């Protein structure tokens, strides 16, 4: 079970709850925004809308993973949120006024969430120990 969720008896840090909510809400907003463009009720590049929908689905999954302390969510969160910085830049450049606001939020989240996930207490919640081979340099 330790591969699926936080170590038994490990208390969820408040920040993990916050990023879980941010990821889930961001996922829902991304799904809504991307679907609006795909349905023709909002304007924006079709390709970016598809990518935003995919990131929306990933956001919902990460929200659940962050909340439960799933081991996979730690690395997936770091990777996805760093990649999302590029999507945020594309949204600012090509996404119109809604994309501009979404892009700013996505860039901020893409910086803050990976930084938070690398804190020792947070890593412990996700079952990542100090002696993890991937953390040795």
Contact 126, 70 (CB under 8 A): yes
Q: What is the pTM of this model?
A: 0.83
Query: Please, what is the angle between helix 96-117 and helix 71-94, to 10°?
Result: 150
Residue 11 pLDDT more than 80? yes
Residue 29 has what pLDDT? 93
In order, the DSSP letters of the chain are -TTTSSPTTPPPPHHHHHHHHHHHHHHHHHHHHHHHHHHTSS-S-HHHHHHHHHHHHHHHHHHHHHHHT-HHHHHHHHHHHHHHHHHHHHHHHHSHHHHHHHHHHHHHHHHHHHHHHTSHHHHHHTT--TT-GGG--
pLDDT in tens, 41-98: 888 889 999 999 999 999 999 999 999 999 999 999 999 999 999 999 998 998 776 7
| Residue 64 structure tokens | 């659940």
What's the pLDDT at 110? 96
**What proportion of the chain, given as a percentage, has pLDDT over 90?**
69
Asked if pLDDT for residue 115 goes beyond 90, the answer is yes
- Indicate the pLDDT class of residue 135, thresholds 50, 70 and 90: very low
pLDDT at 137 over 50: no
* Closest CA relative to residue 113, chosen from 44, 31, 16: 16
Q: Which residues contact 137 (CB under 8 A, 6 or more apart)?
A: none
**Any idea of the CA torsion for 72, 82, 107, 34, to the nearest 10 degrees?**
-60
**Which residue is it, tokens 């969430």?**
113
Q: What proportion of the chain, given as a percentage, has pLDDT over 70?
A: 86
């Amino acid at each position: 079970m330790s591969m699926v969720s936080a170590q038994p008896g490990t208390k969820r840090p408040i920040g993990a709850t916050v990023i879980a909510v941010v990821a889930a809400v961001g996922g829902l907003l991304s799904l809504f925004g991307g679907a609006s463009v795909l349905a023709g009720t909002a304007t924006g590049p079709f390709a970016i809308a598809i990518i935003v929908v995919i990131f929306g689905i990933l956001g919902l999954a990460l929200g659940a993973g962050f909340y439960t302390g799933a081991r996979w969510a730690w690395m997936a969160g770091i990777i996805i949120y760093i990649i999302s910085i590029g999507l945020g830049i594309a949204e600012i450049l090509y996404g119109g006024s809604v994309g501009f606001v979404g892009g700013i939020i996505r860039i901020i989240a893409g910086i803050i969430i990976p930084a938070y996930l690398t804190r020792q207490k947070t890593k412990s919640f996700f079952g990542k120990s100090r002696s993890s081979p991937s953390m040795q340099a």
